Amino acid sequence: MANPSAFRGPRERAQFIAAYDSVMRNWPVPFEEREIATASGQTHIVVSGTPSSPPLVLLHAASATSAMWSPIIAAMSRTYRCYCIDTITEANKSTAAKHIYSVADHVDWLQQVFSALGLARARVMGMSYGGWLAAQLALHAPERVSHLVLLTPAGTLAPLQWWVKMMTPVVLRSPQGARRFLQWMSSTPDAPTDPGVNLITVSMLSSRLRRVTPPSVFTDDELRRITTPVTVLIGDRDVIYRDGPQAALARAQELIPTVRTQLLPGANHLLTLDCPDKLKTQISGALA
């Protein structure tokens, strides 16, 4: 059986985990870490918020981790029991036992995580690749999702123009290339020096080349079938969409029955870094 690990090797994984733990030492609220067993492997989850609060599941961006939610987690944890899931196909603290490629496998993995956490239904928020995963869950298991928040979802609404830019520094093992790529996705000066963004650089350079499931663009029919209340938030400077952020929002408005959209001024793709305060305000209204 082919190696399902996303890491180049044990040394790279150990270095990454040390960097991850260092970033998490500045997590702004009390948290616990859980390991959930699924058929796909062990899933790592960062949990914050009062146990009696309504559940909110958060799915991070590609090459990121649960640490990316740090700028907004204090606000979210005041109202919700937050479950930040490390995607099992990524180089993070989750440990895959097998390769998963199909949409059905991804949705099944998420449903197993929900069941292990005792969540019949939850608010679900995803950013970038995590937004694509969240939308797939809402499409194929709508009974699991009470509210859906898509932060600059990869694919889903519109074709992308980032894949080559993202993969080039991974192929070349180039720290400078990874930092240039991350700055390209942010409107914040010196974005790669942010500890959470630097962790993405470490992840990119620790990852091995492997087959991954790219975020697809939903068909018109698939978008029409998402009946969960949906909020889509995209920065007006977002660079990932081939035809621009306005085109992505326009397609959401046209096809998703219960959608609310908002263009966030001054923000690029890394929303939790570029506009955390605006994001907290918009998300609070979306989840109410």
DSSP element (H, E) containing 66: none
DSSP helix/strand/coil, 33: strand
Strand 55-59 and strand 81-85: the pairing is parallel
- Alpha carbon distances (Å) from 63 to 117, 179, 241: 24, 13, 18
In tens digits, the chain (288 residues) has pLDDT values of 466 788 888 999 999 999 999 999 999 999 999 999 999 999 999 999 999 999 999 999 998 999 999 999 999 999 999 999 999 998 899 999 888 889 999 999 999 999 999 999 999 999 999 999 999 999 999 999 999 999 999 999 999 987 777 778 777 788 898 999 999 999 999 999 999 999 999 998 888 776 778 899 999 999 999 999 999 999 999 999 999 999 999 999 999 999 999 999 999 999 999 999 999 999 998 898
DSSP element (H, E) containing 43: strand 41-48
Q: Is 118 exposed, middle or buried (0-12, 13-18, 19+ CB in 10 A)?
A: exposed
- pTM metric for this prediction: 0.95
Q: Given the structure tokens 């559940």, which residue do they identify? A: 55
Out of 3.40.50.2300, 3.40.50.1820, 3.30.70.890, 3.40.718.10, the CATH code matching 10-287 is 3.40.50.1820
State how far the Cα of 234 lies from the Cα of 174, in Å rounded to an integer: 28
